[in-house]
Amino acid sequence: MTTLKTLALTAAALAATVAGTPAHAQAKEQFFPVLVYRTGAYAPNGVPFANGYVDYLKYVNAKGGINGVKISYEECETGYATDKGVECYERLKGKNATVFQPLSTGITFALTEKAPGDKIPLITAGYGRSESTDGMVFKWNFPLTGTYWDAADVLVQHVAKKEGGADKLKGKKIALVYHDSPFGKEPIALLQERAKMNGFELSLLPVAHPGVEQKATWLQIRQSRPDYIFLWGWGVMNSTALKEAVATGYPRDKMYGVWWAGAEPDVRDVGDGAKGYNALALQHGAEPNAKITQDILKDVHGKGQGTGPKDEVGQVLYMRGLVAAMLAVEGVKRAQERFGKGKVMTGEQARWGYENLALDQKKLDALGFAGVMRPISTSCADHRGSVWARLHTWDGKKWNFSSDWYEADQSIIKPMIKQAADKYAAEKKLTRRTPEDCQS
Amino acid sequence: MLYRENGQFKTSYRADQQVFPILQDRVAIWGLVLLAIVAVPLVAPEYLFRAILIPFLILSLAALGLNILVGYCGQISLGTGGFMAVGAYAAYNFFVRVDGMPVVVAILMGGVCATVVGVLFGIPSLRIKGLYLAVATLAAQFFTDWAFLRIKWFTNNSSSGSVNVAGLNVFGFPIETPAQKYLFCLGFVLVFALIAKNLVRSHIGRSWMAMRDMDVAAAVIGIRPVYAKLTAFAVSSFFVGVAGALWGFVHLGSWEPAAFNIDRSFQLLFMVIIGGLGSIMGSFFGAAFIVILPIVLDNLTVALGFDTALAAHLTFMVFGALIVFFLIVEPHGLARLWSTAKEKLRLWPFPH
């Protein structure tokens, strides 16, 4: 009897699932699952990302698809919750999913365990596990455009430059205010390494999910007065931190956010109070004048098909969604060069494309991304493809770039990646991929 | 009428004390168990396994554990998520630190550790009850959240605080495909449901219920409150710990403390309340309601063409309305609706 009711419900669920998915099975379309969060605590940041992502897919379709292959996509709401994300993954992967982009470090960790079995690649552009850069162990993960270790390294470099040299960091106090989740903890390993190397003092100040409760943290900051604060926040945590900084009287120009702590929703509410606050730009920042932004305004929003408000186009998180979608599409394009132009790529074939991305300046210019980002090229050993980042500063109205390009110091990061990836491989009893496997 | 007990006479105590005294019930249950073990793995698609059946089974097990504590013994707990976390992390530590540790043993050891922690946090129940106890168990939730986030030893010094397991197998059989995972969980749930059913029918279960109904009276007739309450906490946390270990090992594969946060505790408490307090079957009903219904609603709203945000909000609204509706129609939960339906079948037209 117990199960009778269950079975009835299960049957209903199954029916609903089947009924919900008539479109994708038969059409010859490249299917992109879109994991989003348009509700919940992180929605203010999740929505512009999702809009940018979807708009780019629409834009590609408006331009005739990927070498003639139309794109289809379906959104699934994760609410930033890992178990919901897993459910979405299971729901959408069966439709010949090309690639998943979970937009949550927690979901990334869970899917990292599942993707190799299902042979679906995972792009985690600017988030996820740093050690997954090592493609010899993480065959299906692609932390394209940079990882948190790169981010933390660039921040230290920037601060060192401000101080007038790396040796001046000795004895300085840097506080890491971080979201208490895998996302926030990722940079700690690198910062500790750097603290040892450069002799600064690192204090770790966790903030619990979702990040609105920071009084105790800022009391500690008031006491210890660190020279710099690195802010590893997401969503409402960022604006709360800035408001607390205003209340504490901590100078905003000594605060440096990671690239997920440097978008319009984070500073808009604080307005002038956030003036001078810096954040990393994941290559791109706000790009209202870029060619791709103008094209999307014309070809997608201009035809009344835009997702979300028009004035959001070109903002930081919107651009990040756009870049993430572009990377997803370009990987497929690259895969078509090998497996047949104008064909629908499977996840496995797309994986090859992501592993052999060669987005040089010429291609980027042709795509309309001139000035938005630097070239990216991946390989079997390097699934990240680029270690460049720059900083931008909030002037009270908009984000402006305020630094040159930095390259994360691979002499520190590479051994760490190797060590972490080896540890992972040992735990999982995996062997490193052979050169022959790289050809596949 | 098919569902009548006319002519079914019990001539021995054994027959009278069966879990399912009516022949039709026994047939139906065996049929369902066979269906679940044999037919479902053959026909069900992967999505059904991974997104619906496996979470449903594991959360049923957790709800079963919580129901023993809340439904049978009357001790309200808000620390269920925390006990699940203890089970998951303890099992993880046994699994990765002891060479050649079998999965099943690791999971059961996770349950044992959860039992110890559960009993520790159950000790206040000897002096406080009701809402006060709920707050005390809330401390368990916050404490475990804190411990697994902060104490690096528990996560095997993982830099991000997230842990993962792989390469599960039982006696050489791998647990990799969805069907294997499902059967693995089903095995646990069947065994534990049987244990729970028999426990609540035994003298221990009766002492729990006596404590729940009136602790002073129970003490007067010779039931030791210390023993009754702590056994309830122990058994409950053991079940919950095993469920937590399964959630981490089988369902997620990789997890962080957020997988067992306070939302999970509330979710389980709602399952027990909606399913039916003090009912084994109710735990399953509650789990089905809370796990499956939102997914169905979600799929329906998306299929109807609403955009993602609106669909998510609609799901919340309809789900909330349904909870209120069910609690108004039957405050004793879905299990009570079910047993009323059975009474109606047996004693037509005047059920009691």
User: Kindly report the CA angle at B122 between B120 and B128, in degrees rounded to 5?
Assistant: 130
- Chain A: closest CA distance from residue B215 (Å): 31
Q: Which residues of A touch B167 (CB under 8 A)?
A: 428-429
pLDDT attached to residue B346:
79
- Chain B: closest CA distance from residue A226 (Å): 22
Residues 251-280 in A contacting B (C-alpha not used; CB under 8 Å): none
Residue B8 three-state SS: coil
pLDDT attached to residue A293:
95
Give the C-alpha separation, A268 to A253, whole Å. Answer: 16
Q: Is the pLDDT of residue B100 over 60?
A: yes
Q: Which residues of A touch B298 (CB under 8 A)?
A: 77
Q: Is the pLDDT of residue A5 over 80?
A: no
pLDDT attached to residue A440:
67
**Cβ-count burial of B163 within 10 angstroms (0-12 exposed, 13-18 middle, 19+ buried)?**
buried
Which of A79, A186, A428 is the closest to B166 by Cβ? A428
Q: Which residues of B touch A420 (CB under 8 A)?
A: 159
- A188 in B contact zone (CB under 8 Å): yes
pLDDT attached to residue A82:
87
Contact A83 B160 (CB under 8 A): no
Contact B281 A2 (CB under 8 A): yes
Residues contacting B325, CB < 8 A, separation 6+: none
Percent of chain B whose predicted confidence (pLDDT) is above 90: 59
Contact A38 B251 (CB under 8 A): no
Q: How many CB pairs under 8 A join A and B?
A: 166
Contact B299 A206 (CB under 8 A): no
Contact, B67 vs B283, CB < 8 A?
Answer: yes
Give the C-alpha separation, B17 to A192, whole Å. Answer: 64
Residue A19 three-state SS: helix
Between B235 and B130, residue with greater pLDDT: B235
Q: Is the pLDDT of residue A22 over 70?
A: no
- For B141-152, how does the pLDDT look when each residue is reduced to its tens digit (9 = 90+)? 999 999 998 888
- Chain B: closest CA distance from residue A276 (Å): 30
Between B42 and B344, residue with greater pLDDT: B42
Residue A125 three-state SS: coil
- Angle in degrees, 0-180, between the axes of helices B80-97 and B103-122, rounded to the nearest 10: 140
Contact B300 A1 (CB under 8 A): no
CB atoms within 10 A of CB B202: 11
- Angle in degrees, 0-180, between the axes of helices B262-275 and B80-97, rounded to the nearest 10: 120
In sequence order, the β-bridge partners of residue A73 are: A32
Contact, A333 vs A382, CB < 8 A?
Answer: no
- Chain A: closest CA distance from residue B323 (Å): 16
- Chain B: closest CA distance from residue A360 (Å): 33
Locate B29 and state its tokens: 């249950």
Q: Which residues of A touch B316 (CB under 8 A)?
A: 39
Q: Which residues of B touch A17 (CB under 8 A)?
A: 47-48, 299
Contact, A401 vs A392, CB < 8 A?
Answer: yes
Mean pLDDT in residue range B269-279: 93
Banded pLDDT at B351 (limits 50, 70, 90):
low
Which of B46, B96, B281 is the closest to A1 by Cβ? B281
Residues contacting A163, CB < 8 A, separation 6+: A169, A172
pLDDT attached to residue B20:
87
pLDDT attached to residue A1:
42
Contact B296 A13 (CB under 8 A): yes
Collect contacts of B33-41 with beta carbons under 8 A, ≥24 apart. Answer: B33/A3, B33/B190, B35/A3, B35/A7, B36/A3, B36/B186, B37/B183, B37/B186, B40/B182, B41/B179, B41/B182, B41/B183
Percent of chain A whose predicted confidence (pLDDT) is above 70: 94
Residue with tokens 């939960």: B333
Q: Is the pLDDT of residue A17 over 60?
A: no
Question: Minimum mean pLDDT among A349-363, A403-417, B10-24, B106-120: which range?
Answer: B10-24
Question: Minimum mean pLDDT among A167-171, A238-242, A269-273, A337-341: which range?
Answer: A269-273
Strands A376-377 and A358-359: antiparallel
Banded pLDDT at B77 (limits 50, 70, 90):
very high
Collect contacts of A54-57 with beta carbons under 8 A, ≥24 apart. Answer: A54/A307, A54/A321, A54/A325, A55/A296, A55/A300, A55/A301, A55/A306, A55/A307, A55/A308, A55/A313, A55/A318, A55/A321, A55/A322, A56/A296, A56/A321, A56/A322, A56/A325, A56/A326, A56/A329, A57/A32, A57/A325, A57/A329
Locate B107 and state its tokens: 């999971």
The string of DSSP letters for A384-434 reads S---EEEEEEE-SSSEEE-S--EE--HHHHHHHHHHHHHHHHHHHT--PPP
Residue B29 three-state SS: helix
Give the C-alpha separation, A219 to B320, whole Å. Answer: 39
Q: Which residues of B touch A36 (CB under 8 A)?
A: 308
CB atoms within 10 A of CB B11: 7
Q: Is the pLDDT of residue A16 over 80?
A: no
Residue B59 three-state SS: helix
- For A47-76, how does the pLDDT look when each residue is reduced to its tens digit (9 = 90+)? 999 999 999 999 999 999 999 999 999 999
Q: Is the pLDDT of residue B88 over 90?
A: yes
Mean pLDDT in residue range A92-109: 91
- Count of H-run helices and E-run strands, chain B: 17, 4
pLDDT attached to residue B36:
95
Q: Is the pLDDT of residue A10 over 60?
A: no
Contact, A105 vs A181, CB < 8 A?
Answer: yes
Q: Which residues of B touch A209 (CB under 8 A)?
A: 258, 261
Name the helix (H) or strand (E) containing A215. helix A215-224
Mean pLDDT in residue range A362-387: 92
Mean pLDDT in residue range A388-403: 92
- For A118-140, how does the pLDDT look when each residue is reduced to its tens digit (9 = 90+)? 999 999 999 988 899 999 999 99
- Chain A: closest CA distance from residue B195 (Å): 15
Between A49 and A210, residue with greater pLDDT: A49
- Chain B: closest CA distance from residue A347 (Å): 17
Q: Which residues of A touch B259 (CB under 8 A)?
A: 82-83, 106
Q: How far is CA B186 from CA B34, B181, B229, B285, in A?
A: 12, 8, 29, 16
Give the C-alpha separation, A263 to A257, whole Å. Answer: 10
pLDDT attached to residue B159:
76
Banded pLDDT at A18 (limits 50, 70, 90):
very low
Closest to A400 in 3D by CA, of A267, A239, A237: A267
Alpha helices, H only, B159-292:
178-201, 203-213, 215-220, 225-246, 262-275, 280-287
Q: Is the peptide bond preceding residue A210 cis, with omega within 30 degrees of 0?
A: yes
- A5 in B contact zone (CB under 8 Å): yes
Residues 365-424 in A contacting B (C-alpha not used; CB under 8 Å): 420
Residue with tokens 């470099």: A157
What are the phi and psi torsion angles at B65 (to 5°)? -60, -45
Which of A39, A112, A206 is the closest to B309 by Cβ? A39
Q: Which residues of A touch B302 (CB under 8 A)?
A: 20, 74, 76
Nearest CA in chain B to A18: B299
- The whole-model pTM stands at 0.88
Closest to B79 in 3D by CA, of B147, B141, B146: B141
Between B161 and B255, residue with greater pLDDT: B255
Picking from A4, A35, A83, A129 by the largest number of B CB atoms within 10 A of its own CB, the best residue to mutate is A83
Give the C-alpha separation, B68 to A177, whole Å. Answer: 42
Q: How far is CA B210 from CA A423, B197, B204, in A?
A: 53, 17, 10
Amino acid at B258: A
Give the C-alpha separation, A271 to A275, whole Å. Answer: 7
Q: Is the pLDDT of residue A13 over 70?
A: no
Contact A83 B334 (CB under 8 A): no
What helix, strand, coil percent values describe chain B, rounded to 5?
A: 75, 0, 20
**Cβ-count burial of B352 within 10 angstroms (0-12 exposed, 13-18 middle, 19+ buried)?**
exposed
Banded pLDDT at A24 (limits 50, 70, 90):
very low
Q: Is the pLDDT of residue B303 over 90?
A: no
- For A255-289, how does the pLDDT look when each residue is reduced to its tens digit (9 = 90+)? 999 999 999 999 988 888 999 999 999 889 999 99
Q: Is the pLDDT of residue B153 over 60?
A: yes
Q: Is the pLDDT of residue B227 over 80?
A: yes
pLDDT attached to residue A405:
93
Contact B46 A112 (CB under 8 A): no
Q: Is the peptide bond preceding residue B294 cis, with omega within 30 degrees of 0?
A: no
- Angle in degrees, 0-180, between the axes of helices B225-246 and B80-97, rounded to the nearest 10: 60
Closest to A209 in 3D by CA, of A376, A79, A355, A108: A79
Contact B303 A13 (CB under 8 A): no
Q: Which residues of B touch A188 (CB under 8 A)?
A: 159
The string of DSSP letters for A220-231 reads HHHHH--SEEEE
What are the phi and psi torsion angles at A205 (to 5°)? -125, 95
Number of Cα atoms under 13 Å in the Cβ half of residue B313: 7
Name the helix (H) or strand (E) containing A34. strand A30-36
Contact A5 B167 (CB under 8 A): no
Closest to A130 in 3D by CA, of A373, A331, A408: A408
Residues contacting B252, CB < 8 A, separation 6+: A82, A83, A86, A110, A113, B259
Banded pLDDT at A7 (limits 50, 70, 90):
very low
Banded pLDDT at B1 (limits 50, 70, 90):
low
Question: Minimum mean pLDDT among A307-311, B187-191, B321-325, B342-346: which range?
Answer: B342-346
Locate A17 and state its tokens: 């699932």
Locate B232 and state its tokens: 């309830």
Residues 154-183 in A contacting B (C-alpha not used; CB under 8 Å): 180-182
pLDDT attached to residue B67:
96
Mean pLDDT for all residues in chain A? 89
Residue A172 three-state SS: coil
Picking from B299, B317, B318, B338 by the largest number of A CB atoms within 10 A of its own CB, the best residue to mutate is B299
Residues 12-41 in A contacting B (C-alpha not used; CB under 8 Å): 12-14, 16-17, 19-21, 36, 38-39
pLDDT attached to residue B309:
85
